[in-house]
Amino acid sequence: MLSSLWNLGAFIVALSILVAVHEFGHFWVARKCGVKVHRFSIGFGKVLFKWFDKQGTEFAVAAIPLGGYVKMLDGRIDKLSAEDEAFAFDKKTVWQRIAIVSAGPAANFILAVIAFFFMYMIGVNSAKPIVETTQVGSPMSVLQDVKHFQVMAINNQPVEDWDSLNLALVNQIGENQFNITVQPLKESNPELSSEPTKSFTVSLQDWQFDPKTESIISSLGLIPYMPEIYLEVGQLTQGGAADKAGLQIGDKLLSIDGDKLNNWQQFVALIQKNAEQTLQLEIERGTITQIVKLTPAARRLESEIIQGHIGVSPVIETYPEQYRVKLQFGPLAAMDRAIEQTGLLTKLTFNTIVKLVSGDISVKNLSGPVAIAKGAGMSANYGIEYFLGFLALISVNLGLMNLIPLPVLDGGHLLYYFFEVVTGKAVPEKVQEIGFRIGGAILITLMLIAILNDFDLL
């Protein structure tokens, strides 16, 4: 319950920022072009509070935080006096109207750059993409002779941490193949070896990827390096099932109901499938071996699956410092990286949209508000720098999606205006109205698919 409320709160904050920035882009350029603005609203429905500026514009925050709008004086809607015509949107030149409409998406791209800038100024702790091995029979099995390596580049695009590798691989969805460059590492020492880098061509002909059940990393067959996890209690949650059973930090786990435990993953699997079932857990405490009666508590997952948990975490080998990386830069370098990252995300989003239209990517990959809310909550939970990165990602997506030439979106309006530039005549109102209805139907359909995907109903 608390996690859901946290996700919702983070989602509302993120969406409010994105909408405010997008609509401010329209508002600011409209003012510069001499257009009268009646209202600037964040949210829809009942107005919670409002105020007016010196030019008579009403600024409002409404009850439903799922969007916003800028209401401008427009002769197609408002009855204009002779004095009003100079301040109406539809009476401005076509290039002024193009500027006003384009300003919303442009503001989102600017927000992404600013968010990435502060993220890189604060610094992001991350890990280098170190791979232990590859899965037999997977697309990455072409690297099976290379063990313990760092991924250096995808299609000659450098990657420096798992996040950048993930984005580079997402960009390969719908492709037939890609090139990967790796650097072999010393097995005994976590440093780069003197061996030269190696490049391989990875075929995607038989690759199947379901984002609902696996990560793109695992689906391709990369097995990341993980520090060794010991069958030893490292931490206990006070009041948890393990604490109530009398487990102590330092206890070594030997067997459950007489079955020997070989690794931590096996232990977790047994706990999860035995909710509210009393287990005989054999432990070693110091030099003494004893049996502890352990009854995992039950929790219901969002998929309605009942899972056992006991509130314990293991002793984990220290992660090598050489495998860590902190992406932190000075002002000039941070701005350069922010612009570069915004460009990469824009390219990735554009390619994804093209692949969705062409059918290379299934609509099952569309995410709706629930998935976005979870992402907002998770990123906010990790820290402000991660939330800024998430905000930049969604801002780029919002900016580019709004430029799709679909009536009802900014891109649809721009399509009409560029038609006017070329022909010298505005698109007839009836044609525009038909376009808006078709565009609205397509948009609602896509939103419905995204929401159904969120609830795993497709």
The set of catalytic residues is 23
Whole-angstrom distance, CA of residue 219 vs CA of residue 128: 19
Q: 296 near 246, Cβ under 8 Å?
A: no
Helix-helix angle 369-382:2-32, to 10 degrees: 100
Residue 330, φ and ψ in degrees, nearest 5: -75, 175
Residue whose pair of structure tokens reads 């829809």 in the numeric block: 44
Rg of the chain in Å (alpha carbons): 27
Q: Which of these, 151, 153, 155, 154, lies nearest to 129 by C-alpha position?
A: 151
Positive/negative CA dihedral, 249, 252, 257, 260: positive
Whole-angstrom distance, CA of residue 299 vs CA of residue 306: 6
Whole-angstrom distance, CA of residue 120 vs CA of residue 302: 34
SS (H, E, C) 354-374: HHHHHCCCCHHHCCCHHHHHH
Whole-angstrom distance, CA of residue 7 vs CA of residue 380: 9
Whole-angstrom distance, CA of residue 442 vs CA of residue 406: 9
Helix (H) or strand (E) holding 41: strand 37-52
Q: How far is CA 141 from CA 4, 128, 168, 222, 428, in A?
A: 39, 21, 19, 9, 58
**Three-state DSSP state, 236:** strand
Whole-angstrom distance, CA of residue 164 vs CA of residue 170: 10
Strands 198-203 and 229-236: unpaired
Q: Which of these, 25, 31, 24, lies nearest to 92 by C-alpha position?
A: 31
- DSSP label at 140? G
Chain centroid offset of residue 300 CA: 25
Whole-angstrom distance, CA of residue 262 vs CA of residue 322: 29
